[in-house]
Amino acid sequence: MAYDSLLKRAQQGDMEAFAELFEPLRPAVQRTACRLVAPDDVDDVVMEVFLKAWQSIPRFRGGSALSTWLYRIAHNCAMDVRRRQQRRRESTLSEMVEEDQPLPDMPDDRQPTADKVLADAELAGKVRQGVERLPFEYRTTLQLRFADGLSYAEIAAATGVSIGTVMSRLFYGKRKLRKALEAAQIEEVL
């Protein structure tokens, strides 16, 4: 069945058409969520993305590709989860400080995700650690470009910034990663 026909049916409330249209995009949404939130939160983010897409599909006008629109929803949902976790973490810490309790070991947000095939290889592990240490904006932009293969325009639409900002983040992100890898004496990657 043609894409336009599926889209029109989905916009009119046809759940089967929606599923047929979006199911091929699920792996990309999961990869995006894996890069932005903790592994325990990935399924919740994916579910929230498709729920929001279902609720919003009647208003989709085709100004961008459906996949780009979905990346944007995924990015926003993941950022919402990160903000909620940060608020919870801060409120828990402030409560513990007020009650004079010892602070627990907090998880390190820079831990590499388990979504890389070459996670066991030493070189891949060092590169991944270098990427994880990058500021969030650079890390996300590099991952969307090189891991997901998005174009500059798709990254701009997915993250809500201009193409110029995407280009700048890629340039400076690669520069910072190169310096980190040089410091770790990984010159063969460069």
Note the pLDDT tens digit of each residue in 131-152: 888 898 998 898 888 888 888 8
Distance CA 176, CA 189 (A): 14
Instruction: Look at residues 72, 107, 142 and tell me which one is the last residue of a structural domain.
Output: 107
Range of the domain at 1: 1-107
**Are 89 and 152 found together in one domain?**
no
Q: What is the mean pLDDT of the chain?
A: 79
Nearest to 87 by CA among 79, 99, 76, 98: 79
Contact 49, 34 (CB under 8 A): no
Instruction: Look at residues 86, 107, 128 and tell me which one is the last residue of a structural domain.
Output: 107
pLDDT band at 89 (very low <50, low <70, confident <90, very high): low
What CATH number does residue 85 fall under? 1.10.1740.10
**Are 19 and 87 found together in one domain?**
yes
| pLDDT at res. 56 | 92
**Are 9 and 30 found together in one domain?**
yes
Share above pLDDT 70 across residues of the chain, in percent, rounded to a whole number: 77
pLDDT band at 114 (very low <50, low <70, confident <90, very high): very low
**Are 95 and 184 found together in one domain?**
no
**Are 94 and 158 found together in one domain?**
no
pLDDT at 103 over 80: no
pLDDT at 110 over 80: no
Q: Which residues contact 64 (CB under 8 A, 6 or more apart)?
A: 72, 154, 157
| pLDDT at res. 133 | 85
User: Which residue do the tokens 């979905």 mark?
Assistant: 70
Tokens at 46, concatenated: 């994916």
Determine whether 91 is exposed, middle or buried from the number of CB atoms within 10 Å of its CB (0-12, 13-18, 19+): exposed
What CATH number does residue 117 fall under? 1.10.10.10
| pLDDT at res. 101 | 57
pLDDT at 113 over 60: no
Q: Which helix (H) or strand (E) holds 175?
A: helix 163-183
152: left (phi over 0), alpha (psi -120 to 50) or beta: alpha
Tell me the backbone φ, ψ of residue 121, rounded to 5 degrees. -75, 135
**Are 96 and 160 found together in one domain?**
no
pLDDT, one tens digit per residue, over 13-67 is 998 999 999 999 999 899 888 888 888 888 899 999 999 999 999 999 888 888 8
**Are 127 and 102 found together in one domain?**
no
Comparing 67-71, 110-114, 128-132, 153-157, the range with the smallest average pLDDT is: 110-114
As a three-state string, the secondary structure of 124-141 is HHHHHHHHHCCCHHHHHH
Q: Which residues of 61-74 are buried (b: 16+ CB within 10 A; e: fewer)?
A: eeebebbbbbbbbb
pLDDT band at 177 (very low <50, low <70, confident <90, very high): confident
**Count of domains forming the chain:** 2
Instruction: Look at residues 62, 86, 107 and tell me which one is the last residue of a structural domain.
Output: 107
**Are 118 and 63 found together in one domain?**
no
**Are 95 and 127 found together in one domain?**
no
**Are 25 and 95 found together in one domain?**
yes
**Are 72 and 116 found together in one domain?**
no
**Are 40 and 85 found together in one domain?**
yes
| pLDDT at res. 159 | 87
